[in-house]
């Protein structure tokens, strides 16, 4: 029987006094995809960094255990020096990270970064290097590959940046690709494309894949075997079909139940009422970057004639891929972005022409919850100060009353008194989002715009946050504009659904009606791209056979 490609045994990883991984064992065979699954803090990413011996650069250390490649004692990665590891990284083991924008150099063109990755392996002419770079981009299905070489990372979409990272990772034809949450930050259609691309590249190259994720829907799409981690321990391991058929551990079942899936049903719509928000024929235009100083100035219609309305205690789900104009529409409604045409009415009053201090009442009535709670909160302020700051600005509370208000607000979002003096970095991602919700509630708004509020959270935490929003809506009569790229999430929270593409609303209706009988091709694409929380590979592979 052939030795496994990767053999991790009794792995212990520490960050100072904190033990992140505790006695982890698993193997990965040739041509196999192994999913490492768990929530934030389970030790998934620490394990990936340990395999590449980058854990030391993040302040961690391997205190015990072995990580062997090819079952070979000479390839025990825990015993190699940093110089010896340089011959391993990129050549035998490569990695694709979760956030391509931080993994790519913002001041180097895509071409320069690809040349660097490709040029390490062979001394060839610049022309040949350019041809190889174009071929590598075409291989990962980046459109207009030659043109992309001259562009910078910020000029590409999230999905295109992730494809560039995959091209760079595969430049040296590694035996093992570690993919750390490579599709988490992407919209569902792009996620489906990236997963399909990884499967295709694996079939073509024969590489093994260690796929790290918290989403069991993604696991069902791509994995052959699964290792479930919790608090640094392996609690379950099985083939993907066996795990989904008969999960042994309650935690595994919790992850499966929390994964968004279509068919879960949408909430009962509220009684019809006069609209709290009424947007008609809204247009927002941004100037685009000119390729050279003498080129004519062009414009991008980010919001192109959008009309929508939201009633009292109603949730309108706004769904669409990255770049379709969802966030631009939200910023336009809040008057954070200049609008060029159309009208915005709040409780029947036109607020589209208000300026300066006249916008204050409107800003109190409409609050926003952002995608990244860590970036939205001042890191220097404690929780009680953060959640009451908007109420102080709007004159709804006196300084001496703030701590009493903080108690009420934090209780509303299920955070106890022990959290009052903590700073943002001392909270988990889900708790930080609860702080943002409490902050928005402090001025008792009529409407909350939630812009991708759960896309950066673990699936179980995301479910808790959406359930909290629904509970607050029923109790306080809030109206919600819920912006997301995930159709399964929007089904769970929205009474009505609007689908956005290219700055326009292409379909709208009750959530159940739109999902049951979509009229637009793009809506059908979004629905088809939602991962199924059950294995559905057409022809499951048997990676163990290649080990014989």
Q: What's the pLDDT tens digit per position in 170-216?
A: 888 899 999 998 887 777 888 888 888 899 989 988 999 999 998 89
Distance separating alpha carbons of residues 537 and 517, to the nearest angstrom:
25
Domain residues of the chain, as ranges?
277-528
For the segment 251-278, what is each residue's pLDDT rounded down to a tens digit? 999 999 888 777 766 677 777 778 999 9
- Evaluate if residue 122 carries a pLDDT over 80: no
- Residue range 424-431: mean pLDDT, rounded: 86
3-state secondary structure of 94: strand
Share of the chain above pLDDT 70, in %: 94
Where residue 545 falls among pLDDT bands split at 50, 70, 90? very low
Q: Comparing 30-44, 120-134, 206-220, which segment has the lowest mean pLDDT?
A: 120-134
- Give the mean pLDDT of the chain: 88
Q: What's the pLDDT score for residue 365?
A: 95
- Evaluate if residue 17 carries a pLDDT over 70: yes
Structure tokens that stand for 195 in this block? 């997963």
Q: What's the pLDDT score for residue 1?
A: 56
The CATH topology of domain 277-528 is Rossmann fold (3.40.50)
Q: What's the pLDDT score for residue 265?
A: 64
Starting at the edge strand found earlier in the chain, the sheet holding 93-96 runs: 93-96, 176-180, 208-213, 33-37, 225-230, 233-239
Q: What's the pLDDT score for residue 399?
A: 94
pTM score, whole prediction? 0.80
Left, alpha or beta for 503 (phi > 0: left; psi -120 to 50: alpha)?
left
Share of the chain above pLDDT 90, in %: 57
Max distance between CA atoms of the chain, in angstroms, equals 76
Q: What contacts 344, CB < 8 A, 6 or more positions away? A: 277, 278, 279, 282, 332, 333, 335, 350, 351, 352
Q: Comparing 88-92, 286-290, 438-442, which segment has the lowest mean pLDDT?
A: 286-290
- State the burial class of residue 460 (Cβ atoms within 10 Å of its Cβ: 0-12, 13-18, 19+): middle
Q: What contacts 381, CB < 8 A, 6 or more positions away? A: 389, 423
For the segment 52-62, what is each residue's pLDDT rounded down to a tens digit? 999 998 889 99
């Amino acid at each position: 029987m052939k030795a496994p490609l990767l053999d991790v045994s009794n792995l212990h990883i520490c960050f100072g006094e904190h033990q992140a991984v505790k006695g982890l064992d698993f193997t990965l065979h040739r041509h196999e995809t192994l999913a490492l699954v768990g929530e934030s803090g389970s030790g998934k990413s620490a394990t990936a960094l340990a395999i590449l011996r980058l854990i030391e650069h993040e302040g961690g250390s391997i205190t015990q255990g072995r990580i062997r490649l090819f079952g070979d004692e000479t390839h025990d990665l825990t015993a190699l020096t940093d110089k010896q590891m340089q011959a391993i990284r990129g050549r035998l083991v490569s990695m694709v990270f979760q956030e391509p924008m931080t993994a790519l150099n913002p001041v180097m063109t895509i071409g320069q970064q690809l040349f660097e990755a490709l040029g390490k392996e062979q001394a060839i002419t610049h022309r040949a290097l350019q041809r190889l770079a174009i071929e590598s981009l075409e291989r990962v299905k980046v459109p207009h590959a030659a043109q992309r070489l001259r562009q910078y990372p910020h000029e590409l979409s999230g999905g295109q940046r992730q494809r560039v990272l995959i091209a760079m990772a595969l430049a040296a034809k590694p035996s093992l690709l570690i993919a750390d949450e490579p599709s988490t930050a992407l919209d569902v259609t792009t996620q489906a494309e990236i997963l399909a691309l990884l499967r295709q590249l694996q079939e073509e190259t024969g590489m093994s894949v260690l796929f790290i994720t918290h989403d069991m829907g993604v696991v069902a799409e791509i994995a052959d075997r699964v290792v479930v981690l919790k608090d640094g321990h392996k609690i379950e391991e099985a083939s993907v079909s066996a795990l989904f058929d008969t999960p042994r551990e309650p935690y595994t079942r919790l992850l499966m139940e929390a994964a968004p899936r279509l068919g879960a049903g949408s909430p009962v719509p509220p009684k019809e009422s006069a609209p709290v928000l009424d947007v008609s024929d809204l247009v927002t235009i941004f100037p685009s970057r000119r390729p050279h100083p003498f080129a004519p100035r062009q414009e991008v219609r980010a919001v192109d004639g959008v009309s929508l309305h939201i009633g009292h205690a109603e949730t309108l789900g706004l769904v669409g891929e990255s770049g379709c104009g969802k966030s631009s529409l939200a910023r336009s409604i809040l008057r954070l972005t200049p609008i060029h045409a159309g009208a915005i009415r709040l409780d029947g009053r036109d607020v589209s022409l208000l300026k300066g201090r006249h916008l204050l009442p409107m800003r109190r009535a409409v609050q926003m919850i952002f995608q990244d709670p860590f970036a939205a909160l001042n890191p220097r302020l404690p929780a009680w100060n953060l959640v009451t700051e908007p109420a102080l600005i709007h004159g709804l509370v006196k300084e001496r009353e703030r701590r009493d208000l903080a108690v009420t607000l934090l209780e509303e979002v299920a955070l106890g008194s022990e959290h009052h003096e903590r700073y943002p970095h001392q909270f988990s991602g889900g708790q930080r989002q609860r702080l943002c919700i409490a902050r928005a509630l402090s001025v008792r708004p009529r409407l909350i715009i939630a812009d991708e509020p759960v896309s950066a959270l673990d699936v179980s935490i995301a479910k808790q946050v959406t359930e909290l929003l629904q509970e607050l809506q029923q109790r306080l009569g809030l109206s919600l504009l819920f912006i997301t790229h995930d159709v399964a999430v929007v089904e769970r929270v929205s009474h009505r659904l609007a689908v956005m593409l290219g700055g326009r609303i292409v379909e709208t209706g009750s959530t159940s009606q739109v999902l049951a009988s979509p009229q637009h091709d793009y809506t059908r694409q979004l629905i088809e791209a939602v991962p199924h929380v059950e294995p559905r590979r057409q022809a499951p592979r048997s990676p163990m056979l290649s080990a014989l």
